[in-house]
Structure 1
Amino acid sequence: MGMGMSFMGGSGGLASQSLTVVMGALFDQFVEKDIKDFDDFHIAILDIFNTINMALPGKHYDAPQQKEIKVLYEQWTNNKIKEEDKKKIFTDFMNKNVNLSKVDQSMVITGAVAPPAAMVIKRSGQSLPHLTAMKAIPDVVFVPTATILALIVVKVSKRMLMKKVASS
């Protein structure tokens, strides 16, 4: 299982040969796309990252930001670039931008705190007369559901906060 992860990084030997083979396959998949404008180009890049994340078990890789893809698109559509150089540009871009997705501290804390909090909420909610329907929900359904909802709320609120900070 660790072999798939070694394809995406490492230097020398089998890892670099494997990386060349993987990048060649990704490039071939990318070139086969019908790309007419930036939107098609952007979708093709995101499709490549989706392919990487679906093919490799375990950790996932973040797609690059739109501005980085825009710079690649401008290089790609430059008439002075030869077809042979496009593969090098693509490979350099992928090597630079294939980064592991990082879990932030707030997600870890929420994942650890949410299950006990869900149990406390369920137990206290069962004693309230207008929330007696909570008794019908089994703990094995309520706790994971509450945990997932808490993680979603943390992730969405963090993205909204980051958007607000970025727009300021």
Structure 2
Amino acid sequence: MGQVLASIQDRFHGKEWKERQIRKISDKVFDRIKDDLGQRSLAFEDLYIAVLIVYNDINKYLPGPHNDPPSKEKLKLMMQKYDWNLDGELDREEFAEFIQSLTADTVTAVGRNLIIALVIAPALALAAKRATEGVPGVGKAMKKVPNSIYASIVTLAVILFQKDGEDSEAYD
């Protein structure tokens, strides 16, 4: 029971929890690439593969739109910034900071979309339902629809609208 409460408490400490999760992901990816290559640090091409793996995991496990990894040019510039010992490769600590910086915007966008879809949309749906209950003709029908079903339908519509907007941006 204590572990469950500790886990719940961790989730309410947002920034620290996110940083620990990203650190777990970066350690796992670093170990995977390092074990495949038998090296202690990552050269640029290995780093690029690691970034692709991280973004693949983000797209698999986090809800929201597909997130494209940055270009090779951007990665090269960032690698220079995080290569503290100037050896042309990133060790575990440099890689962890690199991934933390690289994924900060992506994790923030996913969190924002979740708040909109799971908190704001249902609240607005229930407020709209109450407002339409006084409208002649429509009000009787609205009173018959359970709040949970109405909120679910509106939330689903918001999620589909978000997804449709993101898909149309991809074609621009």
TM-score (norm 2): 0.45
Indicate the structure with greater helix content.
2
Greater relative contact order: 1 or 2 (C-alpha under 8 angstroms, separation 6 or more)?
A: 2
TM-score (norm 1): 0.45
